[in-house]
Structure 1
Amino acid sequence: MTRRSSRISQQKSNTARTISHASPTAVTLHANTQPLTSRPMGSTRKRLRTSDGDDEDEDNVSEYRDNDNRGQSRRKKKKTKMPAEFRKVRGKRGLLERLAKDVPLDIIFEIFCYLDSSDLINLALTTRDLRSILMSKASDFVWRSARLNLDDLPPLPKDLSEFQYADFIFGIHCHLCSRKGDLIPTLWSFRTRCCRTCAVDTFPYFLTLKRAQPHDYRDANILPREVIPGIYRKDRKSIAVRHIGHTALTQQLREQYDALKTEEEIDVWISRKWEEQEALREHGRLCNEWYSKMVQDRDDKLFEERKDAILQKLDELGLREEAEIIINSEESYLFLEHDAVNQSKKLTVQAWNKMKSNLAVMLSEHKEIRIAGEHKIVAVRRYETLVELYHQALKDSDFREPYPLVLDVLTDQDFKKLIWNTSCSDVLSRAFLSSQYSQLLPAVLQRWRSAKILELVGIVQRKIPGFTSSDLYLAVTVFGCKGCKIKMHFPEMFYHKCCQGFSANDDLRAEFFRSNYLWDLCKGSCNLSKLFFDRSGSGTVKLVVEACGLDPKTASSQDLYAAEPLIECLTCSARAGSDRLFMGFRGVLKHRCNNGRYTVNSFGEETKDILSCEPSLRGYLKCAHCHREIGNKATGVRQHLENWHELTFENSSEPDITQQSPPDQTLKSMQDHWYWNTRECAYLKYEFSFITGNA
């Protein structure tokens, strides 16, 4: 079969293009003088038997040394199953061998014209037949067409052939040692491509060559100069940038300079060499930039293909949605920079089987964390609404009975189910939460109050075994605080600051509430561990109750508040000399006087003067019907009851002793319609009355 074709002669006219050229350098390279590499001496590779026994089928790739020839042990590769279409094909090159021998040249060239320069470089490294075809003069138009298939590639320099230009850009072997890989960017001024080791060993420092040159052109920037990039190493010493020169090219410049005779010739020569070097540097810069962009675009394309393939595999596992959520979030690096994903390689079955388990675990864990975080955000919003509802309901609550803190309410099992067991995708409106709050609160109050009352009864039963829950309301039942030593009645302790806080017994939901909510809206849960039954305080109150004509066994703290006794501490009055200390009933609980002696309602005509010196700051009363605050004066209480609840009262026969303090009998007459705001009393600082001299 003839291998000639008339199409070859016509190819030149069909592929003619206008090509700009860079300035030539002092060294001219040709395709036949720049072999890619040669087989290293002492190679022990064996020839494989071919179909016809010819030596032309010998593997030409073995002529190029790779990293395995560095003396390192080769890794054993697992045998892969040969596809059916390639079975029973004899020879090391298989189908490529038949392509080079049986297919007409015009068809081969037609096929090669659709390839690019990198493809032709790879083909030239496969068989000797293909290399012979591509290295022939007849294939120049093929290399030119392949180069023109590359968009935006800088034009072919005048001093390089098509093959040399392609090898400088896409070659993978060092021109000096013939080894594969570890190449630095092409040294365009030197017209060579080499590895870092050869570059360091072969080319001297640029400054060393520069100092040896004549002063006329030493600083004229005409000397060939290249840069070996530095390497940054985090774990060990980095490698600095190295500026190198070319000894042979520099020597040629020196010889040309020495041949010049006049200053005018030297100036013209320097100007011409400067233009040549500038053209070389600019062309080399454009080539390196183009190659870097081409590699980056290729890597990006391969990465996108690998990412899409992984997403398709994850779709089969039901994890694609989670991966896409990560990609579209601020934490996209978790997936895109994952070791298994961030690679510019096509996804293979082996690679997927290797990464599948780790990637699935990462995505599953992220999904759990994400859902927990989303639920956390939704839970905080629900908590905010429920806290507002709590404070809104708190204004009209009955404080004659213990009332829980906001944390006690919202960490109850019913509210925890409402907040946490409801899907975060379900939007709970304020109206819905308000309705649920009204429905769940009564049961929550009942459970909480029963538990806390039993806890208080247990505290008193340590001193009084027969104590019952009904005795908590007695005036003589006085509790003390181990922290601040304050005495208090039931239920003041539930609003006392020492009985509010977080403890180790709080559950995780309480800890979440504490760490994710404003502290001023959450004082913790009710903790009665600092309380104790105060026997001495109980004895003092018993004397006051008896002095008011009440029965200690039946008189409640409300009865004693209504009586509003006037009390003097004789112990403090004796210590103060001419000053006397007076107080109301609440003052007895706040007064800190060990073994104090008191006198009650025994001041006769002095009562008016004593009451006139009483501080105006007093706790607010609350209406027993609507639980609103109604001030601290009898006139305000009466006006509220008449206007809001249509109640009528007979006018008192006795006038008010003072505007600051209504007469006792007036408050007593309305005792069933008001009660002391125990919550307000817990936060209100009590002030005592001091009278100088004998009132």
Structure 2
Amino acid sequence: MAPSTTSAAFSLDEDLEEAALPFTVPDPMDELFSEVSVRDRESINYVSAETWKSFRIAQAKSKSGPQDLSMFPAMQLDIVLEILGYLHPLELLQVSRANKAFRELLYAPITDLTWRNSFLVENDRDSPDTDSANPDSSPYQIPLCPPHMSGRRWARLLFGPQICQECGQSGAEVEHLLFRFACFPCLEKNLEDVVPGYPVNHEIHTALHRTYHGVGSDDDLDPERGRFWRTDGLAVVAQYEASLVDGGAEAALRFIEERRELVSKRCDVAMKCDSWAWETRTKHRKDYSKKYDGVGKSVMKRLISEGFDERDVEAFYYVSDCDVLYRMPRLTSKLWHRARPYVVPRILQAQTERLARERAVRVERRKQLILAAALMALRTPVPGLRHGYYPPPHTIDTFPPLAQLIQEDLDEPPTHHDPRLVAALAEAPSFVDAWVVETQKLLVSLLPDAPPEPGLSDADFSLLERATSVFRTRRHSPRIVYTVIGWDQARAHLHCFHQPPEWRLPGDGLVEFNSRGSAVAAELAVLLGLDPKTVTAAEMDATEVRFVCGVCPPESHGRRRPLTWRDCVEHGGSNAASHGPPSWIVLSPLAAADVRRREEPDDYSHAHVWSCTLCNDYLPSLGYHKDVKEHIVLKHAIAQPIEGEHLIHFKGPESPRRRRVFLSAEGAHPARFRCNRCTQAAPQVVKLFPRRAIQAHVQDRHLVDLSDDDWTEVELLMLPVTAG
């Protein structure tokens, strides 16, 4: 297949053109390639370009000027060869293209030594990595020509254009192990794993040059995993078979040993070539990176001198993003006038974005201060309890007077004594009350027996006090679901501080009626002999009854976890889908009394719900009990802060920490015995023991001989009822 020619419309970058690159004209040499134009950017061998540029720069710095070459064609051949011996391989390639006579001369076998000696020329004398005492130690020293290859072909392999020798497509990389340029499709088409007709473990496979292209990482290279070029492998097999026929097994073995030594030497040469190419390309990238930085700094100086803000100018990081400046060595006035129409719009865009960010920061600072002042003024402590309520911040910041203050673009936020802020906060309670009424209407409308909305009254709002008014609320995402009962809990959940915009408004799917939880509450009311249509949550709380789930299996040693009716609603409303409708077992009055004795009050000390009542440092974000208490001691000089007076926690969806209480109702040692002597002394205290524990208690506590009259066996569980 003949290589395709490429149009010269693609121009090389200025640096490479200034270096007078080779291979920029149609190449008449057909040893490796047919005639092809190398103006295609993908075919440029940047290792060759960087080597040529470094060599030419070193020559330009020398003091010797151009000489008259008019007598050169008339010189004797040995003198011409002596002169050519001082040339760089890239210069020899250029000379071979000068005319037909030089081409024939440098193609002749007599010049092979000249080609080989050309690789001894140092291609970067000024490199800081070059050791003056040992120039060959430079990482940029050209790899010497191996003995089994002609110098001219070696020069083409190192410095030739990146054009596939098989299909002629550009962009092919050199495979030093195979001594050829090949594109990826041709590699996949011509590489083989095993020689046809020979088993995998045959010694012939160790005598082939293999590449590791596409067989894994360099850290896991196995010589037997590499692949060989098909035609090269067939040639080696032919030589092996010929030596086997001519000299027998010994000759074939010697051939294999010689091939292995040759393969080892080729691998060493390939490694040196890869290292040289990598170092050369790395130097190429470093040099251009320095130029990019210099051009970028020049652009920034120009923009700052024109009056642009330095903060906006620093946003213009990548000079390569501007096609006009791409790969330019320096910024001239002419180049700047060409690039300015492309650069200035980006600076103006950076300026717009910076101003928007700064305004957003100022608005957010004003919002936090105004919101903290509003929450401090509008918070509602609950009489007789140690918690309070905040009005929803996402509702307060939509209050028009406060929203107007928040959106003002001023450098400094308003103070707490700002007249407009004081006036706005005076009107805010009515706004919050309106939100309360609106939200209550919404919750009532979600109930299955809700009356028509236009005629809602206070009596209709009382429906939210029923035990069966159970709702499901979401916070932060649809996957985080809470079960709440009545207006009291719903109100606490709906004013979450950090709700994202898509979950803020109740009408947008934040709240929905929990029919399963409502059915569980109705079943529990019937079980207690109450009317599920009228019983309130407060009345259910007053019963102080405890239940256990009859579907959940007991834990170790027959222990079961007692639940309040609210726990049952949450448990049945969220877990029924996983284990079916639960059946509830009521604890006997004595068992419930023993459970209540061991229950601890809700502990919110480890919840992020606390705020200082003396200042707004913890508004609108709340803090932990320990941190707020320390704040009061240090800032307000109160040695012993009092909950409810100096600090208070605000009701929300955060669950309090509570030690789990269990009842040993089953197993080998159920706790079903009560001490009669303790009952006479304190009848209001109920404490149940297992059989062995009650015997030890009577003997140790009361110091009497054991008797069956000293304890009473009580029933722990009543009959189960299945939730409908």
Which band: TM-score by shorter chain?
A: 0.3 to 0.5
TM-score (norm: length of structure 1): 0.39
Determine which structure has more spread, i.e. the larger CA radius of gyration: 1
Q: TM-score, normalised by structure 2?
A: 0.38
